[in-house]
Amino acid sequence: MKQQILLLLAFTACSVFAQNPERLFKSSKNNEFFIMPAKKYTWQEALKECESRDMDLLTIETEDKAKEIKELLQKVFSGKPIPRFYVGANDLENYREFIWISSTVNGPFTYTNWEQSEPNNYQNQNERCVNIGFHAYSAAAAKLLFKSDEKNEYYIQPAQKFTWAQALQECDKQTMDLLTIEDAKKALEIENLLKKVFSKKPIPRFYLGAHDQEEFRTFNWITKDATKPFTYTNWESTEPNNYKKLNERCVHLGFHGSLQWNDINCERKYGFICQERTDFESLLEVIERA
C-alpha cells in the first residue's frame, strides 16, 4: 500500500521523501504520514508530485481516520493552528459530487466533515478541490484574517498594541511571521490590501518583521527560519534616522498615515500584520516525533 502524504495548502512538496525520512510521522495507529511543508503547488501538481514518489494525497474515508489525523496534527503542531492541507479529493468529474482519488480509494464520499456552509463554491471561484485546516484559527482570530488580490492571507491587528518582540510572538502563535516586504511587487500587494481594509482612512502604524539588532543601521528581515538583508526599501524621506538617538532599531509602516517606513524604538507599541509562513522547517525540527 502506498504511504500517504499531507500537503499544506501553502502547498507542500513530497519531492524530498527519499532524502528526508525524518519527515515521516507515525500516528497512534502506527500508520506513517509524510509532512514536509515547503513549496507551493496546485492540487494537480501536488497529486503528480506524490505519484512520482509512489505516494498518495491524504484520504479521510471514515470518522476513525479523521480522529487519527486530527490527533497526529495536534501533536505535530503542538497547540498552534493547524495549517491548511490539501486532501486527495475533487469534483472534477461531476460538479459538486466529490470523490476520493488515490491508488486504493476512488469513489464518492461516505464520510464527510465539512465546515458549516461548505462546500459552497465561494463567489463562484470554481472551488473543485478540498482542503482541511479551514478556519483553524479561533473565532476572534479569524475575524482579523484578510485575503489579498494575490490570494495570500494576512492577519491584521490594528486595535491592540504590542512591542516589536510581542508582535513577533503574537504572529508565531498563529503559525505566521511578522510582515516582510522584500520587493516592489509585495509592496503593491500590501498597499492594495490595506487600502481595501481601511478604505479612505489613514493607514495605522504596523510593525514589520525587520530590525537592525545584529548590526546597527543594517536592517534585516526576520522570519521564523531566516534573516535576510533589505534589497528593497520604502523609507519615508530622511528615514531611517534614529531620531534623537532613541535607539530606533525596529521598523513600522503607516508613518504619517502612509505606507512608507520609519525606524522606531522596539519598545513602542503598535499594531502588526502577520503573513503566512511558507516554510515550517524549524518547526518540524523541534517538534516531538509522533
Q: What is residue 3's predicted lDDT score, i.e. its pLDDT?
A: 55
Q: What is the pLDDT of residue 283?
A: 38
Helix, strand or coil, per DSSP, at residue 27: coil
Tally of domains in the chain: 2
CA distance 194 to 205: 11
Pair (122, 62) in one structural domain:
yes
Q: Do 129 and 223 belong to one domain?
A: no
In this predicted structure, what is the pLDDT of residue 228? 92
- Looking at the fold, whether 163 and 111 belong to one and the same domain comes out as no
Q: Are residues 103 and 177 in the same domain?
A: no
Residue 10 included in any domain: no
Which residues form the domain of 84?
24-134
The answer to whether residues 47 and 128 belong to one domain is yes
52 shares a domain with 166: no
Q: What is the DSSP letter of 231?
A: S
User: CA 114, CA 119: separation in Å to the nearest integer?
Assistant: 7
Q: Which amino acid is at 192?
A: N
pLDDT digits (tens, 9 = 90+) for 186-206: 999 999 999 999 998 889 999
Q: How wide is the angle at C-alpha 179 spanned by C-alphas 169 and 35, nearest 5°?
A: 70
Strand 24-26 and strand 85-90: the pairing is unpaired
Give per-residue burial for 99-113: e unless 16+ CB within 10 Å, then b.
Answer: bbbbeeeeeebeeee
**107 and 35 part of one domain:** yes
Decide if 103 is inside a domain: yes
CATH number, domain of 127, equals: 3.10.100.10
In a domain, 2, yes or no: no
φ, ψ dihedrals at 250, nearest 5°: -115, 175
Residues 168 and 251 in one domain: yes
Backbone angles phi, psi at 270, to 5 degrees: -135, 175
- With respect to residue 140, please indicate whether it lies within any of the assigned structural domains: no
Out of 109, 134, 159, a domain closes at 134
- b/e 175-202 (16+ beta carbons within 10 angstroms → b): bbbbbbbeeeebbebbbebbeebeeeee
Check whether residue 124 and residue 196 sit in a common domain.
no
Distance (Å, rounded) from C-alpha 114 to C-alpha 104? 22
pLDDT of 80: 67
Considering the domain boundaries, does residue 59 fall inside one? yes
Domain stops at, among 89, 112, 134: 134
Place of cell 536592517: 219
Phi first, then psi: give them for residue 159, nearest 5 degrees: -85, -55
Q: What is the pLDDT along the chain (290 residues), one digit of tens a residue?
A: 555 555 543 333 333 344 455 577 899 999 988 876 556 678 998 888 788 878 899 999 999 999 999 899 888 877 666 777 889 999 988 888 999 999 888 899 999 998 877 888 876 878 899 988 755 555 566 688 898 998 888 999 999 999 999 999 999 888 789 999 999 999 999 999 999 999 988 899 999 999 997 788 899 999 877 889 999 999 999 999 999 999 999 999 998 888 999 999 999 999 999 998 754 443 333 333 22
The answer to whether residue 1 sits within a structural domain is no
pTM summary value: 0.60
For residue 280, tell me if it sits in a domain. yes
Instruction: Say if CB 269 and CB 170 are below 8 A apart.
Output: no
pLDDT at 141: 66
Distances (CA, A) of 240 to 137, 178, 235, 254, 263: 36, 20, 7, 14, 5
User: In this structure, are 119 and 33 located in the same domain?
Assistant: yes
Q: Please choose, from the candidates 45, 41, 44, 23, the residue with its C-alpha nearest in 3D space to the C-alpha of residue 33.
A: 23
C-alpha 269/C-alpha 204 separation (Å) is 12
Residue 18 lies in a domain: no
The answer on 280 and 242 residing in a single domain is yes
| Residue 122 shares a structural domain with residue 221 | no
Domain-terminating residue out of 107, 134, 161: 134
Q: What is the pLDDT of residues 271-288, one digit of tens each?
A: 999 998 754 443 333 333
Helix (H) or strand (E) holding 46: helix 43-52
Distance of CA 250 to the CA centre of its chain: 23
